[in-house]
Amino acid sequence: MMNSSTPNTATATVNDLFQTAETNGLDEAIERGRVALLARQQQDGHWCFELESDATITAEYILMMHFMDEIDDVLQEKMARYLRDTQVKDAHGGWPQYYGGDIDLSCTIKAYFALKAAGDDPEAEHMRMARKAILALGGAAKANVFTRILLALFEQVPWRATPYVPVEIMLLPRWFPFHIEKISYWARTTLVPLTVLCSLKAKAANPRKIHIRELFVTPPEQEHHYFVRGGLLNRTFLVLDKIGRFADRFIPNSVRRLAVKKAEAWFMPRLNGEDGIGAIFPPMVNSYEAMNLLGYPKDHPARQTCLRSIQKLVVHRADGSAYCQPCVSPIWDTVWSALTLMHTSGDDATQDAIARSTDWLTSKQELELKGDWAVQAPDLAPGGWAFQYNNAYYPDIDDTAVVAALLHIQDRRRGESGRHRINTDRAMDWMIGLQSKNGGFAAFDANNTHYHLNAIPFADHGALLDPPTEDVTGRVVAALGVLARPQDQESLRRGIDYLRSTQLEDGSWWGRWGSNYIYGTWSVLAGLALAGEDPRQPYIRKSIEWLRSRQHADGGWGETNDSYIDAALRGTNRNVSTPQSTAWAVLAQLAMGEAQSDSVKRGITFLLAHQQTSGALAGLWYHPSHNAPGFPRVYYLKYHGYTAYFPLWALTRYRQLTQSAAA
């Protein structure tokens, strides 16, 4: 971890240090970063950095192999090594949701189960430590819903320990209070094959007969408190859950067969080749296991392809360990890398790299298939980009906004105005067609705001929906400002109104897809700047002052993921600065014309001082922290690219603005 305890200094001293760093180091640092970033570009023009989560995905991969009786012992041992390495043995003894976080019960249960399946002795010190931590938190009966479903599939808990999720939901009409089209894309793709597994009471092969009864305070068959009772709506759903479970035995076999067929007919066309259904790990595994349950033989092409989509997520490390990514992020990494490189150098190699990246991105635009989003906008033509290599049913509004802006900027820079006009017009029309009623933009759908569904027993993770968010809206507002199409002005106004309405009392904005308020505030301020908002307005000055109030003594910024749990922690990180948070805070201020401020200069000094100078990451930056939520409070991610391109972009943007001011 980097030293973040540098004492505060007087302004004059800071300026002296900065002037020295700027004179001696800024150009050299940018050059080192440029070379390092270019070296990571793929031959076809794209970038794709590792995307790491917590221990759950890797643990689930091991358990999937035992569920299917398809155990790769070599890979299993590599993954077991990763799990052992990520256990917090010097503190709580379990596994957290993110670096530096408290123990997470469900994550720890899965990791323990996976290690035991991999052959670790339950009496080994690390296993005893984890078991003690689990029992101290109430045992495996207190795990979250998804973990209890996994345990039911392995016959470790009775099915009454899980929510009632009948496959017959596939037969419900759209007007019904619950419908798969009313939940988010990630919940939809995960749930549909899962209903098949749950309704047919699938059983893991579990060839080595691994059990975890030692993790229960009360024997699982005697436990009667699997569900936490919340408010009135939650209690109502729990009653309905019991009624549904009782009525399940009376469902005619013909109805169940019809529902299973409808579920199968839904998820099979969405398998998405070797990129996988939804291009995310959970639905891939559920679909793979459901195909096995439905009788697809091992050599069936669809089943083999689904397995390859899962296998392609595995990262093998030089130290002999391996882990499984939840998905991959090539579109996102490529567009930010290209924007970062744009002002690093005018040399042919750099400009050619940017051109190749835009050509690659252009080839990935979805212009034909109407995905699930079309339920809300059936007459809208497709035109978005996904987050992953290919995910045609689920293009991402966030990615689409940044790619459209990049293509427009690149055409303007190269004097080729209009070269990508058809691409950017299709993208902008598609995004505007998915603007929600409140003026904001979500990641994948419009008006996905059926908040009552977060009270159902299945949704204890609170991540069933995809409502509009400040950071995505900020990015769309930025794209609208960059392209400045006359027909988009009303949409832009509504977007800005949404952002103004969601600003918090202290001046910050919440971040849904990055950690957290620093990310959200940068996302919004960057968008407002490109949309032409006057930076002198009180609400913008308030946000700038909030950012400055969170700057550390060493000149950097950092934010703990605990701020998703306790909003009072927003913009704080126990005085530990990180490269990505510092870059976002600097970029936010630069967007609003603050290049000459002491705050920005101190942030730049921090980034210059913490660039890696040797080893595999030479020229880039590093910090072990998770820097984004998959789902706030539930699941977090570490974008390895965030410490590669955002700090470099902050340096290049600073140099560009200061040189322009001097000229």
Q: Which of 368, 433, 361 is nearest to 403 (CA)?
A: 361
Structure tokens belonging to residue 165? 């999720």
Positive or negative torsion for Cα 374, 378, 384, 389 = positive
Q: Which of 227, 63, 66, 38 is nearest to 141 (CA)?
A: 227
Q: Which of 299, 297, 306, 301 is nearest to 273 (CA)?
A: 306
CA count, 13 A, side-chain hemisphere, 40: 24
Q: What are phi and psi of 29, to 5 degrees?
A: -65, -40
> Residue 424 in contact with residue 482, Cβ under 8 Å?
no
Place of tokens 């439905």: 294
Rounded Cα distance, 80 and 64, in Å:
14
Could you tell me where the DSSP H helices lie in 87-142? 105-117, 125-136
Structure tokens belonging to residue 237? 């759903």
Catalytic (active-site) positions: 398
Rounded Cα distance, 420 and 404, in Å:
9
Structure tokens belonging to residue 436? 């929600």
Q: Which of 113, 107, 120, 133 is nearest to 55 (CA)?
A: 107
Rounded Cα distance, 285 and 291, in Å:
10
Distance of CA 105 to the CA centre of its chain: 21
Amino acid at the residue 242 = K
- Strands 635-639 vs 628-631: parallel, antiparallel or unpaired: antiparallel
Other CB atoms within 10 A of residue 316 CB: 11
